[in-house]
Structure 1
Amino acid sequence: MISFLRHAFVDSWLGRVIAGLLFLAFVGWGVGDVLSNMGSERADVVAHVGPNTITTDAFMGAVQNEMPQVARQMGLADASQIPAATRREAARQVLQRLVMQSEIALSAERHGLIVPDDVLRDEVFGLRDFKGPDGRFDRKLFDARLRQIGMTEGRLLDLVRMDISSRALMEPIRNSVRAPETMVRRAFDFDAQTRTLDLVRIAPGDQSAPTPEPAQMRRFYDNHPWLFQTPEYRHARIVVLSPETIARSMEVPEVELHRLYDAEQAKYHLPETRTVQIVTAPDEARARAIATQWQAGATWAQVQAAAKDSASVQMDGVRAVSIPSAPLSKMVFAAPVDSLQGPAQTDTGWVVFKVTQILPPHDTDFAAARQELHDQIAQAHAGEQIGGRVQQLQDAIAGSGLDRIPDTLGASATSGTLDAQGRTQAGEPAPIPASGEARQAILARIFSQAKGANPSLIQGPDQTWYAVSVDSVTPGQVQPFSAISDQAGAAWQDEARRHAANIQATDLYLAAKTKGGVAQAAPAGQVVHSAPLARGRQTTGVPDGLAQLAFRIGSIGQSVMVEESDGFYVATLTAITQPDPSTQRMLIGRIRTGLSQSMAEDIEMSYAMALQNDVKPKTNMAAVQSVLSSVTGPDGAEGGAR
């Protein structure tokens, strides 16, 4: 809904028509009300919006303009390949869009918003789609564009006039909204707040474990059979069709490779970059204190923790032009590595910094970049071709299974034995020609499909299509105790170490609660003072689970205990810091802009919904069905009526 309003009232009308934007945000909203308010009407009108009408020709033209974009989004080569259900849903969304546009235009008319002819002329002449090579309005191009989209000049001018008046009505609503400063401050306090912890990690590997007796190993083996079971293995044949597999088989003209290489000079000709740690202090005295601590051997984490009244940041691999302060950039790129610099005054304040890494300029010649350039271009084109190849692959599988897949399709085939985690019997990752969610979907199919079942082509994530055939199944089984007694003993010891670590961590946690924190309950050498933790950001040495828990701790001095994969953590909250908004103007600005935009969108949507309740558009179902039938077939029309 929100994305619809943004495009409907800000973008130019012609761009929406020619590009055929698909407003998916309107799925399921408002359509039922529009299509259920039916009445008897003449066949050339699909809807009444107050005194205005939406004709069948306008509806049909908008739907036809929509379909090429829908096909591109689905990776299909031709709009005729779009499934009937998808075409029907797209047509319903187009109707909703037309009704909404008409409602807004009607409201603008009622408010007396009249578009003068000179404003209309300037708007049309300013549309880039009608400009020739010299950047001026081209009448021949104008006529050609209108023929291309099947529209008369008069209809275009009416729609552009409607769009201008609609924007004149809606833009003041959006532009006048500003988030209250109280709301901005509360959001800033939430987002910018940092917390620090004292923590101790107790690792199972640091614990000692006795050698188990044979009876203990046997009992552990009997109680944990899943630890000693061989995995189920399946031998499968796999065929995958995706933009990646197509791209690998595509040839890209040399001229295109050179054109892309020239266009991405900044990527292949890198200037010197540096990694730098910077603290910006409020005054010179504070900057000198920070420099003294740093020079004495404090780590970066300790410097950050101590500089709570200052802004600290580490910039990794930064270019000279990327540092916002020109004087600071000059100093950073003149400093030697691992040498503390400052205090120095810049336009951002008093700074102390250290360059920790310098990477010299680096050029990648065309020969070295060629494969990457090929892959980038090929993958861009492959997404457009996959739709046409899916049907060919489906036909090949239906005719010959996975035995005769044409080489011209760009599909990738492989076979082998693997377990449910995608590992071979040698423990290596199986060479499945897919990654991420698509790989997981293929594995799930292999281990759910019956042995010998006919393969079928399935659509997976990321425009991936695949088919599998399971040739054999080797069930998993528990290994005999005599064969894995050493493994059972090692597993018993691992469990004993983890149990000992749990007991030690629990004792420390209870002591921390009574003594005021882990710093008072644990030896000083074991306690780690964390860098400031920020919401949603990782901090070295602090697991994500503990970092999230830190922001749910109620008060300073409260201790917690968590179990992670690498051991048990006992931590005490030592500080809650609220940065001064005056030192975080960029963050404040982003928060204010985001909140204002969100509020404006909510107000726009409320206004649009109020208009629909006031105007109560009426739709002619017979005319709607006629248009739906023409784009989806008779079955699609019946589906649209529901």
Structure 2
Amino acid sequence: MAEKRRRKTSNTIMWVILGLLILALGGFGIGGFGSSLSTVASVGDREITVQEYANALQFEINRLQQDTGQRLTLQQMQLFGLDRNVMERLLAAAALESEADRIGISVGDQAVAERIRENPAFSGVGGGFDREGYRFALQSAGLNESGYEEDIRDEAARELLQGAVAGGVEVPAAYVDAIARWIAESRDVTLATVTVQDLPGGDLAPTDADLTAFYDADPTRFETPELRAITYVWMTPDSVVDNIQIDEDQLRQLYEDRAADYRQPQRVLAERLAFADMQSATDALAAIESGTTTFDALVEERGLTLEDVDQGELSRDGLDPVIADALFALEQPGLAGPVETPLGPAIYRVNAVLDATEVPLEDVRDDLVAEAGIDAARRRIDAAREDIDDLLAGGATLEEVADQTDMELGNIRWDPAAGEEQGGFGIVAYDEFRSAARAAQAGDFPELGTLSDGGLFSLRLDEVIAPIVPPLDEIRGQVEAAWRSESLRSRLFERAGELSENPVQDIMGQPETLTGIVRDATLEGAPDGLIDRIFEAAPGDIFAFEGDDQRAFVVRVDAVTEADLSTGDGAQLRQAIETQTGTELTGDLFESYGRSVQGMAGFTVNSQAVEAVQSQLGGG
């Protein structure tokens, strides 16, 4: 067995470090811990260094940021247990390498060298191994060549051990066949939809006794939500803008400030193909004009696309005068040049000539007036902010604020549970108001808040109105609607049951034949659970299925088609299940083996070092 010595955990962690380098995620420097905190854990004779643990944690944070678009703090990682997962992976890798040492598994220098040369991270411009690039990458990651190459050797040994443990895993064919047949089985059904037209008497109206019994059976279904009675004042740019006058000089100045939007010089849509010298460009133009080739063909011969040569819209501004003269000499699409360009002699293909345009002030007057008015309204609101704040700070009520300012007074009974559904109009449409209204407490001092459009608001919670069950007479219409819905649902299902027992009876709608239904199918308009019920039934079964207050269903299972797993989609499905199951079995087996090895080798975790690393990463 190789001489025992302090080793890093594995090449997996080295890939983590190189991943940080290659993706420009940055390294993580650990310092100031002292020699007593040089390692965070050990398994057998293998040690996990502080730097390795820090790099692995940082890599996990960055990986999650790339996957989710949000950067998780280490505190959030700890909440989800991700920091423990990182430590478990490091311990598992160290345990396997310790076991490889114990039983004498290793690889030679040639195998190590081949792995390094095949690593694309160390490839040069020409694609082969770059010795200097290799040295630079390791130095940038804070590694030395001998240590890294030893890690490569450890990783190779670990893979040999993994192969020996997991290589004998076989997936039972009977298990794979059973799962594949279950998934791929399909059914043909006849589906009849039972509607109100199929009900004797149609849609029945309830009697007073019906409504009273329905209401008394469960009054809580009609309970009102808890409401918040709120008084508020608010002011928005839209509420102020009607009192603002925009003078003509101000309007003309705004128009001139936007001149680039309203005035466009003459432009051309052009493509440019450059050549090595003027003679080549001249010959190419002659060939195009003679019809022996085309501009598109020349572009393709260069290995380019039309996107590569597209120049977009060009005006005289910013163009070399010689190029501009050549392009704008054309009155219609065509070829221009050859002319000298920064890339060499070039031919231009002009695809369109766009005349100069100007949108007069009168055509955009209304838009500019609205824009200028809103801007002025926001400035007026900002100017009023301090006075309104002073009034509130001085103890003025919201009613007094409304009397003394441009703010409007309002009252609302608001259901916090309704959220944005109730917020399609008025002040409740603003997230800022809803958040403040939800957080308000009785007796709170009204504070001035800002709305998303630049408006201002303040509110007062007057009362929390507890839920109640209104008397029947007050909500008779609501009770009747609920009775009708429940009655229709029940009657439709009952009628579907009768038809399933006596399928010779006709229904108004034409039954629909559906073939090849699989377990993950979606039937438009069908309720949840119908597909499951179809696959629970046997061929020839007829059953009723409840829908809503519009329809119920009668279903007959006409045929069951077993999957052919020998060819086509069935064979591909079987192969996929076998591969996935094999991967899962291998993972479970190897995890169990790793835990066993880790337990036999013994491991320790230096909690002080772990906390120190997490503290520097922002978790402490």
Q: Determine if contact 1:558/1:573 at 8 Å carries over to the other structure.
A: yes
Which one-letter code corresponds to 1:165 in the other structure?
A
- Structure 2 residue 123 is matched with structure 1 residue 137: no
Provide the residue aligned with 1:601 in structure 2: 587
Please give the secondary structure, in 2, of the residue aligned with 1:422: helix
Give the Cα–Cα distance (whole angstroms) in 2 for the partners of residues 201 and 420 of structure 1. 36
Q: Which residue of 1 aligns with 2:598?
A: 612
The alignment partner of 1:571 has SS state of strand
- Asked if the contact 2:38–2:49 (Cα under 8 Å) also holds between the matched residues in 1, the reply is no
1:497 equivalenced with 2:483 (yes/no): no
* Letter of the 2:139 counterpart: R
Contact between 1:130 and 1:138, CA under 8 Å: does it hold in 2?
yes
Q: SS of 2:419's equivalent?
A: coil
Q: Structure 1, residues 114-139: CA drift from partner, whole Å, max 9, x if none? A: 32112212212322223333333334
Matches within 5 A, 1:447-596: 471=461, 475=465, 485-486=476-477, 488-509=479-500, 511=501, 518=503, 520=504, 526-540=510-524, 542-553=526-537, 555-565=538-548, 566-583=550-567, 584-596=570-582
> Cα offset for 1:184?
2.1
Aligned to 2:203: 209
Distance 1:10 1:581 in 2: 42
Asked if 1:161 is matched to 2:157, the reply is no
Following superposition, the deviation at residue 576 of structure 1 comes to 1.8
Match of 1:18 in 2: 18
1:528-564 Cα offsets, whole Å, 9 max, x none, are 33333211221346433111122223x3233433322
Output aligned runs, 1:162-241, within 5 Å: 162-171=154-163, 173-174=165-166, 176-204=168-196, 207=199, 208-214=202-208, 216-217=210-211, 220-221=214-215, 225=219, 231-234=225-228
Give, in angstroms, the shift of residue 604 of structure 1. Answer: 1.9
For residue 341 of structure 1, what is the aligned residue in structure 2?
none
1:53 aligned to which of 23, 28, 46: 46
Give the Cα separation in 2 of the matches to 1:451 and 1:204: 51
**Counterpart in the other structure of 2:75:** 83
Give the secondary-structure state (helix, strand or coil) at the position aligned to 1:531.
Answer: strand
2:412 matched to 1:421?
no
Deviation of the 1:193 alpha carbon: 0.9
AA in 2 matched with 1:500: R
Please show how residues 50-129 of structure 1 align to structure 2 within 5 Å: 50=44, 52-54=45-47, 58-72=48-62, 75=65, 82-83=74-75, 86=78, 92-129=84-121
Residues 193 and 579, structure 1, Cα contact 8 Å, conserved in 2: yes
Structure 1's 593 and 130: CA in aligned 2 closer, same or farther, altered over 3 A?
same
Paired AA for residue 94 in structure 2: S
Q: After TM superposition, give the deviation of residue 194 of structure 1 in Å.
A: 1.3
Which amino acid letter does the alignment assign opposite residue 584 of structure 2? S
Report the CA distance shift for 1:449/1:561 in structure 2 as closer, same or farther (over 3 A): farther
Quote the offset at 1:469 in angstroms. Answer: 9.6
Residue type of the alignment partner of 2:528: D
Residue 166 of structure 1: how far off its partner (Å): 1.1
Residues 442, 462 of structure 2: 8 Å contact kept: yes
The alignment partner of 1:198 has SS state of: strand
What is the CA distance between 1:191 and its match in structure 2?
1.0
- Supply the distance in 1 between the matched residues of 2:58 and 2:610 (Cα, whole angstroms): 17
**Which residue identity lines up with residue 121 of structure 1 in the other structure?**
A
- For residue 148 of structure 1, report the CA deviation from its aligned partner: 3.2
Mark the CA change 1:161 to 1:489 in structure 2 (over 3 Å): closer, same or farther.
closer
Answer whether contact 1:453 1:470 (CA < 8 A) is retained: yes
Residue 496 of structure 1 deviates from its aligned partner by 3.8
Task: Say if 1:130 and 1:142, in contact at 8 Å, map to a contact too.
Answer: yes
Check conservation: 1:421, 1:443, Cα contact below 8 A. Answer: no
Following superposition, the deviation at residue 185 of structure 1 comes to: 1.4
Instruction: Tell whether the 8 Å contact from 1:146 to 1:153 is kept in structure 2 after alignment.
Output: yes
After superposition, the Cα gap between the structure-2 partners of 1:60 and 1:581, relative to the gap in structure 1 and judged at 3 Å, is same
SS, match of residue 46 in structure 2 = strand
CA RMSD of the aligned region, Å? 5.0
- Structure-1 residue corresponding to 2:337: none
Gaps of 5+ in 2: 1-7, 22-34, 233-303, 308-388, 393-410, 447-457
Q: Does the C-alpha gap of structure 1 residues 483 and 603 become closer, same or farther in structure 2, counting only changes over 3 Å?
A: closer
CA 1:452–1:118: 2 relative to 1, 3 Å: farther
What letter corresponds to residue 628 of structure 1 in structure 2?
A: E
CA contact (8 A) 1:132 1:138 kept: yes
In 2, distance between residues paired with 1:69 and 1:546? Answer: 46
Cα distance in 1 between the residues matched to 2:468 and 2:531: 40
Q: Structure 2 vs 1, CA of residues 449 and 578 (structure 1 numbering), >3 Å: closer, same or farther?
A: farther
CA deviations on 1:561-594 (whole Å, 9 max, x unpaired) are: 3322343333333322102222332222222222
Distance apart, 1:158 and its partner CA: 1.3
2:294 paired residue number:
none
Change (3 A) 1:540 1:530: farther
Question: Identical aligned pairs, as a percentage?
Answer: 22
Deviation of 1:491 (Å): 4.4
CA distance in 2, matches of 1:224, 1:591: 50
Residue 101 of structure 1: how far off its partner (Å) = 1.7
Change (3 A) 1:611 1:633: same
The verdict on how the C-alpha distance between 1:15 and 1:568 changes in structure 2, with shifts beyond 3 A counting, is same
- Residue 179 of structure 1 deviates from its aligned partner by 2.2
Distance 2:475 2:197 in 1: 22
Distance in 2 separating the partners of 1:109 and 1:594: 31
Q: Distance in 2 between matches of 1:190 and 1:80?
A: 41
Q: For residues 396-420 of structure 1, what are the alpha-carbon distances to aligned partners after superposition, in whole Å with 9 as ceiling and x for unaligned?
A: xxxx9xx9xxxxxxxxxxx995652
Partner of 1:148: 140
What is the DSSP-based 3-state SS (H/G/I as helix, E as strand, rest coil) of the residue aligned with 1:177?
Answer: coil
**Equivalent of 1:628, from 599, 602, 611?**
611
Tell which structure's C-alpha radius of gyration is larger. Answer: 2
Paired amino acid for 1:546? L
Distance 1:236 1:124 in 2: 72
Question: Structure 1 length as normaliser, TM-score?
Answer: 0.51
Residue 95 (structure 1) shift:
4.0
Q: Deviations over 1:508-534 (max 9, x none)?
A: 34x25xxxxx4x465596543333321
Q: CA deviation at 1:61?
A: 0.7
Q: TM-score, normalised by structure 2?
A: 0.53
Displacement of 1:65: 1.0
Q: Distance in 2 between matches of 1:129 and 1:612?
A: 32
Q: What's the CA shift string for 1:373-400, capped at 9, x where partnerless?
A: xxxxxxxxxxxxxxxxxxxxxxxxxxx9
- Equivalenced residue count is 405
State the alpha-carbon separation in 2 of the partners of residues 471 and 70 from structure 1. 46
The offset of 1:493, in angstroms, is 3.9
Structure 1 residues 451 and 124 mapped into 2: Cα distance closer, same or farther (>3 Å)? Answer: farther
- Secondary structure of the residue aligned to 2:418 is coil
Secondary structure of the 1:421 match is helix
Amino acid at match of 2:588: D
Change (3 A) 1:10 1:550: farther
